[in-house]
């Protein structure tokens, strides 16, 4: 250190592995990454300081825990794709003058931006925008943060950017904020909290994937905008890997397979987002329902049924209306014979109905826990642009249960619900499961029902149960329901995509709203606690994910057609029919293919239909009283007696392997 640097203060930087480095005060994230290694400095995108994300250029002036954020992490991808949405907006602005921009977030796989433009974007425009994005990337434009007062930012977007959308956000959404941040790159500026990439040159590969429509701020009464989706990567190799994955995802698309395998249909005459189950799909759904009902019976659940509509006052009492009013169908209004106005809602949730069942008579502490369960269909008016076959529908059936228990029973009941959810996922081949403890945001308490004390207790209960079960979990602040924290299960499918499916929720709020009570051992009234629980979540969404996870290759116990009998020639049709009747009599779902086609074609078509078992019968099998078993995607498994084959398949079906 020179004489001029002797007074330079040093700070202690603690890295994720516990290593402590001494760095000059004012060192940036890039400086710290470079001190560790040149490769890390090249890959660095941002910095996490004491758990908070900041730009890589942020100077550090005090001791801190520091993590270098790269594309390999979820935070890195989020920053990379959010910055890429700005890059796309800049490219569109340079190509199509006069375009204005609404919201441009990162999403799970990439990003989008909502655009107001007189130009109607087409597929060929996407290729043009991609080229412009790569051109801007090669400029190596520095992405710089600027903080302004809210009033100065309003002035900037009104007079220098002529951007009414950002002005509206500043004047309405951010009306209580004093200081906001802007990000500049070349002549493009956007309103954003950041952090962002240090430079546009980090983006090396671009693919714009889709154009759809949207409404400003999701409000169908506001102006319609154009939404462009895309994804970017730090290298061409990563993009090529993604495109390969995308092609496989298209092959597995549940909407495509649903049509090919005759599982479900979507009809404009019925309405968007309202799937119709065809016979084969109904079999899969019935098998899943039967599987869960069987497990629930073992665990003491009591089945109930509730209506598809309810008086709007019921949902006002529960809080679902107005909490979820934006995603509900409009009320059904009519006047009775005496002229009195009544309003009903298509049921958005099952829980208010179950609470009424609980309160229909006095309960004793000895009666608890009471576990009510229903495969109840509910309705949500999702935006048309968000609909996606079964996985995002407007009418769907939840495997809904509500457990009413004493506070001293609560953690045990949560653990039991977790165990059931884990059993369901394991049985159906979802072995890569993440768990999120979805907590409330204490900075926005008005979003939630109940008191801060109630929330503290509920979140303590959730965490205690998760710890007792030995679950590895992460915390999701702001992900709670309005009535309580959740344990959400996020499965990773065969392509590595994440889907939030099952959930277990703790609720101290609804017992207050519905005045739910039980008589305790002290002969006084007490409040039960409610657990909301749904291992599948939604039958439609779960089956849609399952179709894509398995590529339609369902396990034997779940397959709509478990076996197809394939006679080689007409002179064995009678024997083949007797084999099929034996299978049907044993409860094995089977079909008989007596078409005048070559056996090779019959086998190929059975393979395409993804039938697990093909029973091939020729003269040899008829004479020996046996059958030849061929497995889907595996091939020949040898000859069996009809009784031996039936026993083999029934054993496999019972084991749900």
The two tokens of residue 218 are 């999701």
Tokens of 300: 């003491």
Indicate the pLDDT class of residue 7, thresholds 50, 70 and 90: low
In the residue annotation, 202 being an active-site residue is answered as: no
pLDDT of 474 higher than 80:
yes
Report d(CA 312, CA 347) in Å as an integer.
Answer: 9
Element (H, E) at 127: helix 123-138
Higher-confidence residue of 18 and 277: namely 277
Please enumerate, as own/partner, the contacts of 637-644 that have beta carbons within 8 Å and a separation of 24 or more: 642/579, 642/582
N-to-C CA span, the chain: 68
Nearest Cα residue to 543 out of 624, 424, 634, 442: 424
Q: Are 438 and 487 in contact (CB under 8 A)?
A: yes
Tens-digit pLDDT profile for residues 500-550 = 999 999 999 999 999 999 999 999 999 999 999 999 999 999 999 999 999
Mean pLDDT of 579-608: 97
Please state which of the ranges 154-158, 244-248, 384-388 shows the lowest mean pLDDT. Answer: 384-388
Active site residue 467: no
Residue with tokens 């004047």, as numbered in its chain:
171
* 142 part of the active site: no
pLDDT digits (tens, 9 = 90+) for 120-170: 999 999 999 999 999 999 999 999 999 999 999 999 999 888 889 999 999
What SS3 state is found at 246? helix
Mean pLDDT, residues 283-309: 97
DSSP 64: E
What are φ and ψ of residue 113, in 5° steps?
A: -140, 135
Residue pair 592/564 in contact (Cβ under 8 Å)? The answer is: yes
Residue 307, pLDDT > 60, answer yes
- Pair type for strands 64-69 and 46-49: antiparallel
Mean pLDDT of 344-356: 94
* Known binding positions for Zn(2+): 351, 402, 532
Q: Indicate which residue of 486, 610, 622, 632 is catalytic.
A: 486
The answer to whether residue 308 is catalytic is no
Query: Is the distance from CB of 334 to CB of 311 less than 8 angstroms?
Result: no
Per annotation, catalytic residue among 280, 320, 380, 622: 380
Per-residue pLDDT, 319: 86
pLDDT confidence of residue 321: 83
Query: What is the 8-class DSSP label of residue 391?
Result: T
Tokens standing for residue 210: 């889709």
pLDDT at 5 over 70: no
What pLDDT was estimated at residue 53? Answer: 94
- What's the confidence (pLDDT) of residue 151? 93
How far CA 320 is from CA of 326, 349, 350, 392, 540, in Å, comes to: 11, 8, 11, 19, 22
Q: Which residue has the tokens 């759809």?
A: 212
Model confidence at 459, pLDDT cuts 50, 70, 90, reads very high
Residues forming beta bridges with residue 110, ordered by sequence position: 107
Arithmetic mean of pLDDT, 223-250: 94
Rounded CA separation 602/594 (Å): 9
Active site residue 166: no
Least confident of 78-92, 441-455, 568-582: 441-455
Determine contact, residues 308/275, Cβ cutoff 8 Å. Answer: no
For residue 621, with 0-12 CB atoms within 10 Å meaning exposed, 13-18 middle and 19 or more buried, which class applies? buried
For the stretch 415-429, pLDDT in tens is: 999 999 999 999 999
Question: Percent of the chain at pLDDT above 70?
Answer: 99
By residue count, the chain amounts to 657
Calpha distance 512→529 (Å, rounded): 10
d(CA 199, CA 184): 10
What pLDDT sits at residue 6? 45
How much is the pTM? 0.81
Strand 301-303 to strand 370-379: parallel, antiparallel, or no bridges (unpaired)? parallel
Catalytic residue among 163, 399, 400, 488: 400
Q: Is 254 a catalytic residue?
A: no
Of these residues, 532, 549, 602, 610, which one is catalytic?
532
What pLDDT band is residue 644 in, cutting at 50, 70 and 90?
very high
What torsion, rounded to 10 degrees, do the Cα atoms 623, 627, 628, 629 define? 180
Q: Directed axis angle between helix 410-427 and helix 279-298, to 10°?
A: 140
Burial (CB count <10 Å: 0-12, 13-18, 19+), residue 479: middle
For the chain, give every domain's residue range. Answer: 3-69, 74-250, 267-306+350-550, 309-346, 563-655
Hey, is 42 helix, strand or coil?
helix
Q: Given a cut of 90, is residue 561 above it in pLDDT?
A: yes
Number of H helices, E strands in the chain: 20, 33
* pLDDT at residue 320, as a whole number: 84
Is 38 a residue of the active site? no
Out of 90, 185, 296, 398, the active site residue is: 398
| Residue numbering of the annotated binding site | 351, 402, 532
Superfamily in which the 563-655 domain is placed by CATH: Anticodon-binding domain (3.40.50.800)
Strand partners, 101: 115
Whether residue 563 has pLDDT greater than 80: yes
What is the DSSP secondary structure assignment for residue 6, as one 8-state letter? T
Query: What is the dotted CATH code of the domain comprising 267-306+350-550?
Result: 3.30.930.10
Helix axes 74-95, 123-138, angle to 10 degrees: 110
User: Would the pLDDT of 310 be above 50?
Assistant: yes
> What's the burial of 595, exposed, middle or buried (CB within 10 Å: 0-12/13-18/19+)?
exposed
Extract the tokens encoding 572. 């064995």
Q: State which fold the 74-250 domain adopts.
A: 3.30.980
Residue scoring higher pLDDT (236 or 446): 236
Give the residue-averaged pLDDT of 360-368. 97
Q: What is the CATH number of domain 3-69?
A: 3.10.20.30
The phi, psi pair for 507, rounded to 5°, reads: -140, 110
Q: How much is the pLDDT for 471? A: 94
- Residue pair 542/288 in contact by the 8 Å Cβ criterion: yes
Active-site pick, 402, 541, 589, 602: 402
The arithmetic mean of pLDDT across residues 430-439, rounded, is 94
b/e map 330-366, b = 16+ CB within 10 Å: ebeeeeeeeeeeeebbbbbbbbbbbbebbeeeebebe
């Amino acid at each position: 250190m020179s004489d001029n640097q002797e007074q330079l203060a040093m700070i202690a930087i603690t890295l994720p592995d516990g290593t402590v480095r001494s760095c000059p005060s004012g060192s940036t994230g890039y400086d710290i990454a470079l001190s560790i290694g040149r490769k890390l400095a090249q890959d660095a995108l941002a910095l996490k300081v004491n758990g908070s994300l900041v730009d890589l250029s942020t100077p550090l002036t005090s001791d801190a825990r520091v993590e270098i954020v790269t594309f390999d992490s979820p935070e890195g991808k989020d920053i990379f794709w959010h910055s890429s949405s700005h890059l796309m907006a800049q490219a569109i602005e340079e190509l199509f003058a006069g375009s204005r921009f609404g919201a441009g977030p990162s999403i799970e796989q990439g990003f989008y931006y909502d655009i107001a433009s007189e130009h109607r974007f087409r597929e060929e425009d996407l290729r043009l925008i991609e080229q412009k994005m790569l051109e801007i990337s090669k400029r190596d434009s520095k992405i710089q943060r600027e903080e302004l007062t809210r009033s100065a930012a309003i002035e900037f977007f009104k007079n220098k950017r002529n951007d009414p959308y950002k002005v509206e956000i500043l004047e309405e959404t951010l009306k209580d904020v004093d200081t906001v941040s802007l990000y500049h790159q070349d002549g493009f500026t956007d309103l954003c909290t950041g952090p962002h990439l240090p430079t546009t040159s980090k983006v090396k590969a671009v693919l714009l994937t889709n154009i759809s429509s949207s409404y400003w701020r999701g409000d169908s009464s506001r102006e319609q905008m154009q939404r462009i989706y895309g994804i970017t990567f730090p290298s061409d190799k990563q993009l090529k890997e993604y495109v390969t994955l995308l092609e496989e995802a298209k092959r597995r698309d549940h909407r495509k397979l649903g049509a090919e395998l005759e599982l479900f249909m979507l009809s404009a005459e019925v309405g968007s987002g309202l799937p119709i189950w065809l016979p084969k799909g109904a079999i899969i759904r019935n098998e899943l329902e039967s599987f869960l009902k069987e497990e629930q019976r073992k665990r003491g659940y009591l089945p109930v049924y509730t209506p598809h509509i309810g008086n709007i006052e019921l949902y006002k009492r529960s809080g679902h209306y107005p909490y979820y009013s934006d995603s509900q169908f409009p009320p059904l209004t009519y006047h009775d014979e005496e002229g009195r106005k009544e309003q009903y809602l298509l049921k958005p949730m099952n829980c208010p109905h179950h609470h009424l069942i609980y309160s229909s008579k006095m309960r004793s502490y000895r009666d608890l826990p009471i576990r009510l369960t229903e495969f109840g269909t509910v309705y949500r008016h999702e935006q048309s642009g968000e609909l996606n076959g079964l996985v995002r529908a407007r009418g769907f059936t939840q495997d809904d249960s509500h457990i009413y228990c004493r506070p001293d029973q609560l953690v045990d009941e949560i653990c039991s619900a977790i165990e059931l959810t884990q059993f369901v996922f394991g049985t159906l081949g979802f072995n890569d499961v993440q768990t999120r403890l979805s907590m409330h945001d204490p900075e926005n308490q008005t979003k939630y029902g109940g008191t801060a004390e109630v929330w503290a207790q509920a979140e303590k209960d959730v965490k205690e149960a998760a710890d007792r079960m030995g679950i590895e979990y992460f915390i999701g602040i702001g992900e709670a329901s309005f009535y309580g924290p959740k344990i959400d299960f996020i499965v990773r499918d065969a392509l590595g995509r994440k889907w939030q499916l099952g959930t277990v929720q703790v609720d101290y709020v609804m017992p207050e709203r519905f005045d739910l009570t039980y008589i305790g051992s002290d002969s006084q009234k007490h409040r039960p606690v409610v657990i909301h629980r749904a291992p599948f979540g939604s039958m439609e969404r779960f089956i849609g994910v399952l179709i894509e996870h398995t590529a339609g290759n369902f396990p034997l116990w779940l397959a709509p057609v478990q076996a197809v009998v394939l006679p080689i020639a007409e002179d064995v049709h009678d024997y083949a029919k007797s084999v099929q009747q034996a299978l049907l009599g044993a409860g094995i779902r089977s079909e008989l293919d007596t078409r005048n086609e070559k056996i090779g074609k019959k086998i190929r078509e059975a393979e395409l239909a993804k039938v697990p078992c093909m029973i091939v019968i020729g003269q040899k099998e008829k004479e020996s009283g046996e059958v030849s078993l061929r497995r889907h995607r595996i091939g020949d498994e040898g000859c069996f007696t009809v009784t031996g084959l039936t026993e083999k398949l029934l054993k496999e079906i019972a084991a749900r392997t």
